[in-house]
Amino acid sequence: MTSLFALVDCNNFYASCERVFNPKLEGKPIVVLSNNDGCIIARSNEAKALGIQMGEPAFKAKDTIEQHNVHVFSSNYTLYGDMSARVMQTLGQFTPHLEVYSIDEAFLDLGNFYGRDLNQYAGEMRHTVKTWTGIPVSVGVAPTKTLAKLANRLSKKSKKADGVLVLTDERHIQEALRRTEVGDVWGVGRRYARKLAAFGIHTALDLRNTSDAFAKKHLTVVGLRTVRELRGEPCQDLEMVAPNKQHICTSRSFGAPVTELSQLKEATANYASRCAAKLRRQQSCTGAITVFLETNRFRETDAQYFNSKTIALPTATNSTLELLHYANLALQALYREGYRYKKSGVIVSELRPQNQVQTSLLDIVDRDKHQRLMQTLDKLNGALGRDTVTCAAQGTTRPWQLKCEKKSPCYTTQLKGLLCVGTS
């Protein structure tokens, strides 16, 4: 079977999600802010045209935003995650072999579709996703994942392509490589681009024409794989099942500086609880937990403090109750009075499958009871919504929570967020 991959990428995904439920935003500049409404993490094409930069602090772009009436939204990951699931489910209608690469990208295996009109089939994908979900996408098709990435990128830049580009003809592939800067190749990046420029390698075509020995010496084995993929040799298969994470981190900035230990305990308990839930989803247990605290390094007038504490667990676990206990111990060892804390977080590491945990002879925890309790907890929160049932240590009012003053409703996951259509 000849290899053929499609990369489907949602256009300006976060901004597009907001437009689905507010059509008046079509054609208007939109930006989406990071947690705590700090930096710009997504922009519509109209916002990009105004010169608003990705990652720019929102306060620096304030004048441009006000002058051009840019629509600003707090990040709504619940909405974006659900819309992503709907897009991926729609793409699953076109092939059972699909890799969800990120929240807004998916690779599809089209190896059995060489006999079809690929432009028509890719166009049908694009039309169906837009019709069923409201999200515009671009589609790049090519013999390897790296070339499919490149085709997708060019499909957005070419008006003639209209969001679909199929690269299967060798002449078209060479022209596409000639028009692509080496730093824009998937997996190369700026640092390697500067290094390659010193050797006279400026385009993707230049990189493709390098020898295997050069690529392995200067770009490592991963770079060699990229070079071969640019030549049309598939070196990366679809990952049908995402690999388990090797460590999990949950961390947020506070909505306002926190000084009281009680509030830090609440926040840290929530982060530990989130880590525990993620561990159970991938059926893993953790052998170590790390808690960190930090002040705002950008406030030079404030006293600065950053520290972390790691505790090795006597028995690996994914029980929320156990992780809350050890996170609290670590936090109390870290806490110092007199500081205005900006952020805390929890990291779980030394992960292993939950069916391969070696218990201690001195273990006194009723693990069967913990397991039944966690299963019930996850079932309730899965059916009724995250954090419907929590531990008392996680608090209720949560004054430390991050800012999200411009957050749109959760249109697809909460009854109170449903749109109301009037008949008047």
Q: Which residues are catalytic?
A: 105
Instruction: For residues 6 and 165, give the distance between their C-alpha atoms in angstroms, rounded to a whole number.
Output: 10
Residue 346: which of 259, 284, 288 has the closest Cα?
288
149 Cβ contact partners less than 8 Å away, ≥ 6 residues apart: 7, 140, 186
Q: Could you please report the per-residue DSSP string of 362-406?
A: T----HHHHHHHHHHHHHHHHHH-TTSS--GGG-SS-TTPPP-TT
Q: Do residues 5 and 108 touch, judged by C-beta distance below 8 A?
A: yes
Cβ atoms within 10 Å of 120's Cβ, excluding its own: 11
Q: Do residues 119 and 140 touch, judged by C-beta distance below 8 A?
A: no
Q: Take residue 333 and report the two structure tokens written for it.
A: 């060892």
Rounded to the nearest 5 degrees, what angle is found at the Cα of 152, between the Cα atoms of 147 and 158? 120
Query: 3-state DSSP call for residue 421?
Result: coil
Instruction: For residues 136 and 134, give the distance between their C-alpha atoms in angstroms, rounded to a whole number.
Output: 7
Instruction: For residues 212 and 222, give the distance between their C-alpha atoms in angstroms, rounded to a whole number.
Output: 11
- Phi and psi (nearest 5°) for 271? -70, -40
Amino acid sitting at position 154: L
Rounded to the nearest 5 degrees, what angle is found at the Cα of 130, between the Cα atoms of 128 and 133? 100
Q: Do residues 153 and 141 touch, judged by C-beta distance below 8 A?
A: no
Q: With 0-12 CB in 10 A as exposed, 13-18 as middle and 19+ as buried, what is 400?
A: buried
Q: With 0-12 CB in 10 A as exposed, 13-18 as middle and 19+ as buried, what is 57?
A: middle
Residue 90: which of 141, 126, 36 has the closest Cα?
126
Place of tokens 């392995």: 216
Sign (positive or negative) of CA dihedral 242, 247, 248, 251: negative
